[in-house]
Amino acid sequence: MGDRLPRGLVGRADGLINDIRRSWGQFQEQVLAGDFNRARATWGALIGKIRELQVAGRIADLGGTLVDINKTFPIPGGRREFDVIFQQGNGTVFAEVKTGGATLLNRGSDRFQRTFDNFVAQRDFAVSQGASYRLYADDFSNDMVRALREAGIDFVQSGTILR
């Protein structure tokens, strides 16, 4: 993917690839040790990192200009991290990439509300920086789709962009 990225992003992409390599090793060790709960969590993180890389590569393929990968902004009381930042036309897009576990939730659960509130906070931060916000995910529950549409949050199912 390095030949499709601006020179400054090659190191960031390499870092993500190294994270994927490390996560794969951890996953195998955890499975061999019989620690299936940790292995499940590691697998989810591994798939998320692979999706970030796929989305970054696909954006580059589609003519978007990648600006940053895994960019963190300091905010009062913490930080805001975006998986991918890219230019599309004259606009900047801050994007988050999620695996299905974070978006297949049904309305009414605490986890649904926390996840949705995070998406709204990410969108609001992007807007405060003069950018738009887009969410990429493997799949969405019907409840999450409705909530995102009601909030005016742009989303793309990863299967669409990764084909």
pLDDT of 52: 78
Q: Report the pLDDT value the prediction gives residue 155, as an integer from 0 to 100.
A: 92
User: 141 by DSSP, 3-state: which?
Assistant: coil
Residue 138 CB contacts under 8 Å (≥ 6 apart), including other chains: 51, 98, 99, 100, 103, 157, 158, 159
Quote the pLDDT of residue 31.
Answer: 93
pLDDT at residue 3, as a whole number: 55
pLDDT along the chain (163 residues), means of 10: 57 78 92 92 83 77 79 92 88 88 86 94 96 90 94 84 55
Q: Which residues contact 13 (CB under 8 A, 6 or more apart)?
A: 1, 2, 5, 53, 56, 69
pLDDT for 147 equals 95
Rounded Cα gap, residues 62 and 82, in angstroms:
20
Enter the pTM of the model: 0.78
